[in-house]
Amino acid sequence: MVVELNNIDKDILDALASVPDPEIPVINVIDLGVVRQVKKVNKQVFIDLTPTYTGCPAMDMMSVDIKKAIDALGYETFVKLVIKPAWSTDWISEEGRRKMEEYGIAPPLEENLDKRVLLDGESLVSCTHCQSTNTKMISQFGSTACKALFKCHDCLEPFDYFKCLK
């Protein structure tokens, strides 16, 4: 996802990149693709943020954290939640997907493969511990709405899978 930037200095981008997703702390809000637009007008910064899931309790926290991080640079920050166009897992950056996997959450598959896994129970998701695809979905809803719970038949460990959302 390309973030629309207007008149933005590197220090503001760095501040944004320092704000983690509170539920997947290795990923920042830029990696997650939830920052849609950043605009600076004199000493004011306006940010459009888009929710991953409508009820995601992490969104309010991200808004507050973003405001704090940019206010600390001497700006007055306004964060607005926008819902159109709706967030898609395609907006998670390559970097974000890599960090997610290292953290123990399998990144989302392409939509058609995701459907085959979630609807037909096919084994296509790689285990984050041993990379085996001999895996099975245990529950369509995991620890948060965005994830499903899986287990690996080879190393026998459970892991999370970030569901494709398009």
Partner 1 sequence: MNDKLYKYLLMLGDNSMILGHRLSELCGHGPSLETDIALTNISLDLFGQVRNIFQYAAKLKGANTTEDSIAFLRTARQHHNCILLEQPNTDFAHVIIRQYLFDAFQKLQLENLCESADDQIAAIAAKSLKETNYHVRFSAEWCKRLGAGTSESNQKMQEALNHLYPFSFEFFEQNEIESEMYSKGIGPDLNRLKDIYFSQVKTLLSTAELNIPDSPARHTKGKSGIHSEYLGYILSDFQYMQRVYPNMQW
Contact residues for partner 1, defined by CB under 8 A: 51, 53-57, 83-87, 118-119, 138-145, 149, 163, 165-166
43 or 80: CB nearest partner 1? 80
Q: What are the φ/ψ torsions at residue 8 (nearest 5 degrees)?
A: -105, 135
What are residue 135's DSSP bridge partners? 152
17 or 118: CB nearest partner 1? 118
The total of other beta-carbon atoms located within 10 Å of residue 6's CB is 10
Q: How far is the CB of 104 from Zn ion (least distance, A)?
A: 11
* Positions in 139-158 near Zn ion (CB under 5 A): 152, 154-155
Q: How far is the CB of 153 from Zn ion (least distance, A)?
A: 8
Tell me which of Zn ion, partner 1, none is bound by residue 133, counting a contact when its beta carbon lies within the kind-specific cut-off of 5 to 8 angstroms. Answer: none
Q: What are the φ/ψ torsions at residue 156 (nearest 5 degrees)?
A: 70, 10
Q: What are the φ/ψ torsions at residue 14 (nearest 5 degrees)?
A: -60, -40
107 or 142: CB nearest partner 1? 142
Are 49 and 77 spatial neighbours (Cβ–Cβ below 8 Å)? no
The site that binds Zn ion (CB under 5 A) totals a number of residues, namely 7
Tell me which of partner 1, Zn ion, none is bound by residue 18, counting a contact when its beta carbon lies within the kind-specific cut-off of 5 to 8 angstroms. Answer: none
What are residue 20's DSSP bridge partners? 28
Burial of residue 55 (CB within 10 Å: 0-12, 13-18, 19+) is: exposed
Q: Where are the beta strands (DSSP E) in 3-141?
A: 4-6, 20-21, 24-28, 35-41, 44-49, 76-81, 105-106, 135-139
Tell me which of partner 1, Zn ion, none is bound by residue 136, counting a contact when its beta carbon lies within the kind-specific cut-off of 5 to 8 angstroms. Answer: none
22 or 158: CB nearest Zn ion? 158
* Positions in 112-131 near Zn ion (CB under 5 A): 127, 129-130
Residues of the shown chain interacting with Zn ion in the complex, contacts defined by CB under 5 A: 127, 129-130, 132, 152, 154-155
